[in-house]
Structure 1
Amino acid sequence: MAEENKVTLHGFWASPYSKRVELALKVKGIPYEYVEEDLKNKSPLLLHYNPVHKKVPVLVHNGKPIAESLVILEYIDETWKNIGPPLLPQDPYKRSQVRFWATFLQQQCFEAMILVIKSDGEAQEKAIKEVSEKFKLLEEGIKSIFPEGIPPIHQENVGLLDIVILSIFGSYKVQEQVVGLTFIDPEKTPLVFSWLKALLELPALKEALPPHEKLLGLLKYIRQNALNSTAV
């Protein structure tokens, strides 16, 4: 890629937020340089590019930084309109629905699942119930987005909502293994299950997810650390 159109992504291998930016760049076919950040020792460049939150991901395009994953995805879609599939639909109403459910996935489903991983006993039971309720709402939401069922998915029609759910729950088997529970139930939420299954059948997307054993080790560490903190 020409220097005047250089794209650099500052991310962390296990972050679903930076992972969704990676997925979007891959789906769009945009060449980029990846910079792995040590979140315990953040680089001066990361702190310079994102002085407000000091977090990954940060996309740097022609020297200009863009922060916040959903903002970055929309920037990618608007900047490279003629490259790869559109990430957002053209219809304003459909676009608003995609934004709504992407935010719901990020702020409701993902945070509830993290609470399950970080808790035990009564607190975990409460978190599990919340996860179940969130997925029921998502299941109903999918019916409005895909009234005729999940359409055939291939790399040429992957959109923003596909990328967001894959970045959060593409590794759901790891998440379930850590706590010995089922998050994605094919009987209770068949549309969510079939949607994820279809996305994970795309080799390019599946290969972009964090390695199973490496992520398993990290999530076990996060869980144990959280439980130790509450036990003190």
Structure 2
Amino acid sequence: MAGVKLFGCWYSPFSRRVEMALKLKGVEYEYIEEDLSNKSPLLLKYNPIYKKVPVLLHNDKPIAESSVIIEYIDETWEGPSILPKDPYERAMARFWVKFIDEKCAVAMWKACSSSGEEGEKAKEEAAQLLKFLEEELKDKKFFGGDNIGLVDISANFIGYWFGIVQELKGLELLTKEKYPNFCEWVDEYINNNFVKENLPLKDKMIEIFKALA
């Protein structure tokens, strides 16, 4: 445990991604909670470029950015594979993670935080992007097939965090009528025993979202 430390924040979906990856692999680690409004000197030292969580410290060597960290974890420790073994499937998993992070999550967060014409435009964009994920999940239990993998872990913001925000905001963007495949994945994902144990409590998330708002 002394050789593995994780700087994170309990309500960050990106931190939770990395914690899930470590636990899937059975890696013991020391968790260091960061106050994002008053970042520690160590966090700024280990991630001077982005200055954000998560940061994994392994044998005093820092790795930043959640998707990069997860790939490092998958390649470093034995245990269940997080990324597919097949080169093409690995490439596609990376593609969907990039799509989720750079397109979907951005548009969905904007749809929640914007109003008026800008908000409507963001909702339309998010709705179009969700259609791609809906199609990708056709005839699948998880993005990784029968088992939770990289894309599932990376989609946790949409699967859990966004659902809470949508409920608080009274939005009807992600619904079973519009996205039956995706909503079925959400149910499978958040009710999976392993995932359930590693998600922040809903009541606490509601408190933090209200405080941030």
Give TM-score, length-normalised by structure 1. 0.85
Is 2:86 aligned against 1:91? yes
Counterparts of 1:98-113 in structure 2, within 5 Å, are 98-113=93-108
Q: Rate the CA distance shift 1:194–1:20 in 2: closer, same or farther, 3 A.
A: same
Contact 1:17 1:56 (C-alpha < 8 Å) held by counterparts: yes
Is 2:1 aligned against 1:11? no
Cα deviation, 1:134-173, whole Å, max 9, x if unaligned, reads 1012212334xxxxx124799x932111111124422333
* Counterpart among 166, 174, 177 of residue 187 in structure 1: 177
In 2, Cα distance between equivalents of 1:43 and 1:51: 11
Is 2:153 aligned against 1:163? yes
Is 2:22 aligned against 1:32? no
Aligned residues: 212
Contact 1:20 1:164 (C-alpha < 8 Å) held by counterparts: yes
Q: CA RMSD in A?
A: 2.0
Is 2:120 aligned against 1:125? yes
Aligned-residue offset at 1:111: 0.7
Aligned-residue offset at 1:39: 1.0
Partner of 1:58: 55
In 2, Cα distance between equivalents of 1:51 and 1:152: 35
Cα deviation, 1:162-197, whole Å, max 9, x if unaligned, reads 111124422333121121012332122111111121
Query: One-letter code of the match for 2:156?
Result: L
Partner of 1:173: 163
Instruction: Classify the secondary structure of the residue corresponding to 2:174.
Output: coil
In 2, Cα distance between equivalents of 1:183 and 1:203: 27
Contact 2:8 2:34 (C-alpha < 8 Å) held by counterparts: yes
Moved more, 195-204 or 48-57: 195-204
Query: One-letter code of the match for 1:98?
Result: A
Contact 1:20 1:163 (C-alpha < 8 Å) held by counterparts: yes
Structure with larger Rg: 1
Query: One-letter code of the match for 1:222?
Result: L
Partner of 2:64: 67
Instruction: Classify the secondary structure of the residue corresponding to 2:6.
Output: strand
Contact 1:150 1:194 (C-alpha < 8 Å) held by counterparts: no
Partner of 1:226: none
Unpaired runs of 5+ in structure 2? none
